Amino acid sequence: MPLLLKIPSLHFKIKLSQTYPSLSEINDLQRLMLLISIQ
């Protein structure tokens, strides 16, 4: 989990996919894992 914190580009892609769903490259599981890791 902590490793995800070191990948800001991944976080950025998730933000993008939330703002522009058509650009989504990240599945819900990965998004959930990241949200858990940053809280």
* pLDDT by residue, tens only, the chain of 39 residues: 455 555 667 777 777 666 666 555 556 667 777 777 776
Based on its alpha-carbon atoms, the radius of gyration of the chain, rounded to whole angstroms, reads 9
Distant-in-sequence, close-in-space partners of 14: CB < 8 Å, separation ≥ 6: 26, 30, 31, 34
CA distance 36 to 23: 22
Dihedral sign from CA coordinates of 28, 17, 10, 25: positive
Cβ–Cβ under 8 Å, residues 33 and 3: no
pLDDT at 34: 78
